Structure 1
């Protein structure tokens, strides 16, 4: 697959815009090309990442906070330093129990975020 677009090689947090993703949820888009994308997602306490699915593989890291993550009807409470994997086309969602940040990586990139 040839690269038809990509982000800048370097991203600086202070220069990246926060985008409204949902009630109590904002995101910053970091590096990406056709094959991969990294996104920083900030949650307020009580914010809900509604249950959804997408064709992308997703791997996420809990940078801070406490989250109840549900993947295919299996809920788990995850804290700073934990992570999770979501296979393509699998229902998943998040409930933020303590304000925090998730680092999401998608393959291929999420065109709907650009």
Structure 2
């Protein structure tokens, strides 16, 4: 699958956070998150392994009981079923990959 860059297809996740599925295959799904300064991603977990890369901005990412100050170029991996949350300190863009594919993040078919 190949996807061209587009400003369309973003969906609200929570207040000040929106996401767009960039591409996906049989085993992985890649998402871009755009997060505004002051956004709070509530503590949650899911069965998917989640790896991420901070493109721009700054955030505090808590994985289980450990909190990290995340800056551009930093990356992370969160095992499935581990609780995590984030506080967005600046306007931020992150790319994350989920495995297995998160069916709730699949684009709606027209």
TM more than 0.5? yes
Q: Which runs of 5+ in 2 are unaligned?
A: none
What is the rounded CA distance, in whole Å, between the counterparts of 2:43 and 2:66 in structure 1? 12
Instruction: Note the C-alpha offset of 1:15.
Output: 5.5
Aligned partner of 1:44 in structure 2 is 36
What is the rounded CA distance, in whole Å, between the counterparts of 1:79 and 1:49 in structure 2? 17
Instruction: Note the C-alpha offset of 1:112.
Output: 1.3
Q: So what's the TM-score if we normalise by structure 1?
A: 0.88
Q: 2:55 aligned with 1:63, yes or no?
A: yes
Instruction: Note the C-alpha offset of 1:95.
Output: 0.7
Q: Deviations over 1:67-109 (max 9, x none)?
A: 1000001111010000111011000011100111110100001
From 100, 105, 113, the equivalent of 2:105 is 113
Q: Which runs of 5+ in 1 are unaligned?
A: 1-8
Q: So what's the TM-score if we normalise by structure 2?
A: 0.91
What is the rounded CA distance, in whole Å, between the counterparts of 1:13 and 1:99 in structure 2? 20
TM-align CA RMSD: 1.1
Q: 2:69 aligned with 1:77, yes or no?
A: yes
From 11, 15, 36, the equivalent of 1:23 is 15
Aligned partner of 2:93 in structure 1 is 101
